Amino acid sequence: MKNIAVFASGSGSNAENLIRCFENSAMIRVAVILSNKSDAGVHKRAERLGVPSFTFTNAEFNEGALILQKLSEYEVHFIVLAGFLLKIPADLIRAYPDKIVNIHPSLLPAYGGKGMYGDYVHKAVVAAEETRTGITIHYVNERYDEGAVIFQKECPVLPSDTAEEVAAKVHELEYNYYPRIVEKLLLQV
């Protein structure tokens, strides 16, 4: 069994999708949810789905010992970021080389970097009158959204689309492709 830790800072819709996609798998399971926000909706989703979740402070995250202890305790093989907004410390990247992935709601390198997440990305895409956007799944390195690209999938942006409509298209891609790519990567580990 390959155990995944999901790091999330928000509502946890992608985390829930991953949990549900792997709940009947004999090979992969979401073993634990870790978050930097005690009031994040991901905790309620995790509780409802029977997955343990923990909150850590930014200082604990940057220091790393508690995070590595939790990952060891749950025998985590792979880390999946799902709406997680903190930059991953070098010690964690070294402990999990090429075993930390993130999903970004644009076709990187466009609309990536610090502060570019969620609705900020979709609003920027609409404001720039882009004709396409999508998702990028990438390995995590020490810089925001600059790790090697694993997978991209695009969708059209119509001139009449609002940021909310673009978000809905992007979320559909996320829910459809993120679990598939994570599974493919885990079967190679």
Q: Which residue numbers are catalytic?
A: 104
Q: Name the residue among 73, 68, 71, 39 with its Cα closest to residue 55.
A: 39
The contacts of residue 3 (CB under 8 Å, 6+ apart) are 29, 30, 31, 32, 74, 75, 76, 77, 78
DSSP string for 51-114: --EEE--HHHHHH-HHHHHHHHHTTEEEEEESS--SPPPHHHHHHSTT-EEEEESSSTTTT-ST
**Cβ atoms < 10 Å from Cβ of 94:** 10
**Cβ atoms < 10 Å from Cβ of 37:** 15
Q: What is the token pair recorded at 88?
A: 């991953």
3-state secondary structure of 30: strand
